[in-house]
Structure 1
Amino acid sequence: MKRILILLACSAIGTCLYAQKKPVATSGNPIFHGWYADPEGAVFENRFWVYPTYSAKYEEQVFMDAFSSKDLVKWEKHEHIIDTANFKWAKKAVWAPSIIKKDNKYYLLFGANDIQSDQETGGIGIGVSDKPEGPFKDYLGKPLVDKFYNGAQPIDQFVFKDKDGQYYLIYGGWGHCNIGRLKADFTGFIPFEDGKIFHEITPKGYVEGPYMFMRNGKYYFMWSEGGWTGPDYCVAYAIADSPMGPFKRIDKILQQDPKVATGAGHHSVIKHPQTNDYYIVYHRRPLGETNGNNRVTCIDRMEFDTQGLIKPVKITFEGVKANPIR
């Protein structure tokens, strides 16, 4: 009798609760609480992972947290996966992690100390762990890259595995980007045929934040442009037939929306392992924030046109729908 009365009441107002669909859950943006930037996305052990920089004053950037999710919507925090207490040479400015799994070990690369010359201690380090959530211990006892090559500050590292199994380190700030062939044990580099350890692959407009992925046999190279503290921070890309390039800038695909947020940049890409869905993970500055370190990590869909070009990304407050790994 009660159910009949409810249905009659619904019919009277023209909207029946029994006929309404449940709202689809979305991640929302930012996807987790706190000031975090430079996120690297990954998929390990049937979970999505995001490894960001803790966005604070350089002297306070002495650790990193990670976040994992089963569905891209609900995120679990893993605190202090890496800490300078375990790296005697690293003191501050721990930036822009890049992580890769190899031989059942997880290698997390990061920049530290914001060195300004070859005479300072710091650069790109490596932590190693048996688990994606760490804790990560110092793998080399020293930086992997601690000098300026081709004018590139040793920061903003990314590890790329090519189709032939070769691992590359792609990195660089100060408007220069280098690529080098990593040894199989990640202890150093294999020189190129000309004897050089690094080749410069800097495209027009490059500032920092390199990222590379493969799609349909092509190499998509992406990077950040503009100033990281300003509203003009953004992401552009190029496509080539080799990880060595040459990379000719195609277009800008991620940038601010004055109605949503400013300074959208320093990104990475997550491809769902079971579908053809691509997501761009990036940081941006909420409207009204003027502190350069007040950055949050967000996620939105990234799509391609029929020619394989990346469509401009629409940054949103909603984020993305749940898309679990089955």
Structure 2
Amino acid sequence: MQPSYVNPVYPDTMADPFVLHHEGAYYAYGTAPGAPDGRRFPVLRSTDLVRWEPLGHALVPPGGTDFWAPEVAFHEGRFYMYYSAQGIDGKDHQLRVAVSEAPQGPFIDAGRVLVPDQPFSIDPHPFRDADGTWYLYYCVDFLELEGAYRVGTGIVVDRMVDMLTLAGEPRVVVRPHADWQLFLHDRPMYGAVYDWHTVEGAAMQVHDGRYYLFYSGGAWERENYGVSYVVANHPLGPFTVPHDAQHALLMKSVPGQVFGPGHNSFVPSPDGSETWIVYHAWNPERTGRLMCIDRMWWEGETPVTHAPSWTRQPAPAA
């Protein structure tokens, strides 16, 4: 009998799930309550993307009160965790990096604020191009209208000088540009009131030499949350919005079945033949965002998935 699974693949809160594939194993990190010992970010291990073993919490925090959306990169024998923390030195969320000798941690903060000139920065996504250059995609707030762009949270990209340092030359990847990306009407922010829109949670895929930057848009706690993408010929852009992007192109809520799917990462199947999207969706009680998986494939230049799924599906190819 062919192995199968039903979402969610892990029963506890695991929002913003990022999965690292390393030496035949998968390590998942996510936004969730901290551990009694003060560590943050649960880490799970799997060999098949379906059965997950908890390994504790990964980050030894450098102070702070709130921690979001960790992602981990492996480079020259060390593991680098990029994340945002609130409450350090009294500041709002800022991007930081922590380092470990093992994928499960402990990750020790490097004492760096990666984007010190921004009052708010979240959702870091490290990406290594084929030529070995590293880039970091992350979110900041935009308060000015510009063309089709709305006021709200958007995604930028910067080249990494090394694993602890950005070049300091960020370029806009995508800002909110459609009604479905509304976060909240009349939101008080920065001393004014805005119809606030959001795109966040970057995840890169390269297909036929083009760079597809996937993102989640809308309000993370509402049914309009979903996943779409923009496309470029280089990691730094410029990125273009597909012509039919007035809705979430890859994944969105299914009324009565799945609520608020998004903030995804991508990993290969165990045999390397498939691409899998790992994302969160709310449980029926709306008390937590749980980790889900589904296969993604390409039809020409278009990414395709049956996600979000809620019925039994074939397991990743082993």
Q: 1:100 is matched with which residue: 73, 89, 95?
A: 73
Alignment-mate amino acid for residue 54 of structure 1: A
Question: In the alignment, is the contact (CA less than 8 A) between 1:157 and 1:171 conserved in 2?
Answer: yes
Give the distance between the partners of 1:216 and 1:94, measured in 2 at CA.
Answer: 36
Aligned with 1:213 (options 205, 228, 231): 205
Which residue of the partner structure matches residue 147 of structure 1? 117
Higher strand proportion, which one?
2
Matched, 1:303 2:297: yes
1:171 is aligned to 2:154 = no
Whole-Å Cα distance in 1 between the matches of residues 105 and 207 of structure 2? Answer: 30
Higher helix share: 1
TM-score under structure 1 normalisation? Answer: 0.78
Aligned residue pairs, count: 280
1:38 maps to 16
- Aligned pairs for 1:162-241 (under 5 A) are 162-174=129-141, 175-184=153-162, 186-191=163-168, 197-203=169-175, 204-205=177-178, 207-241=199-233
Q: Which residue of 1 aligns with 2:40?
A: 63
Superposition deviation, residue 133 in structure 1: 0.8
Q: Which moved more, 1:118-127 or 1:239-248?
A: 118-127
Q: Which one has the largest radius of gyration?
A: 1
Identical aligned residues as a percent: 28
Q: Which amino acid aligns with 1:286?
A: N
* Paired letter, 2:278: V
Partners in 2 of 1:163 and 1:114 — Cα distance? 37
CA deviation map 1:211-247 (0-9, x unaligned): 1121221101111111011111111112221112222
| Cα deviations by residue, 1:258-296 (Å, 9 ceiling, x for unpaired) | 13211111111112364331111111112342x5xx211
Distance 1:207 1:270, change over 3 A: same
Residues in 2 aligned to 1:319 and 1:38: alpha-carbon distance in whole angstroms: 23
In 2: Cα distance, 1:271 partner to 1:114 partner: 36
1:124 matches 2:102: no
Q: 1:132 to 1:68 in 2, by over 3 A?
A: same
Counterparts of 2:229 and 2:38, CA distance in 1: 29
Q: CA RMSD in A?
A: 2.5
Deviation at 1:83, TM superposition (A): 3.1
CA–CA distance in structure 2, aligned partners of residues 122 and 62 of structure 1: 18
Q: Which amino acid letter does the alignment assign opposite residue 59 of structure 2?
A: I
Contact kept, 8 Å, 2:47 with 2:270, in 1: the verdict is no
Give the residue type in structure 1 aligned to 2:48. Answer: D
Contact 2:97/2:164, CA 8 A, preserved across alignment? no
CA contact (8 A) 1:234 1:256 kept: yes
* Structure 2 counterpart of 1:82: 59
Cα distance change on mapping 1:61 and 1:288 into 2, 3 Å: farther
Secondary structure of residue in 2 paired with 1:164? coil
Under a length normalisation based on structure 2, what TM-score does the superposition of the two structures give? 0.80
Residue 119 (structure 1) shift:
7.6
In the alignment, which residue of structure 1 is the partner of 2:236? 244
Task: In structure 1, list runs of 5 or more residues that go unmatched.
Answer: 1-21, 192-196
Measured after TM superposition, the shift of residue 114 of structure 1 is: 6.9
Q: Do the aligned partners of 1:221 and 1:239 also contact (CA within 8 Å) in 2?
A: yes
Distance verdict in 2 for CA 1:270–1:114, change over 3 Å: farther
- Equivalent residue for 2:144? none
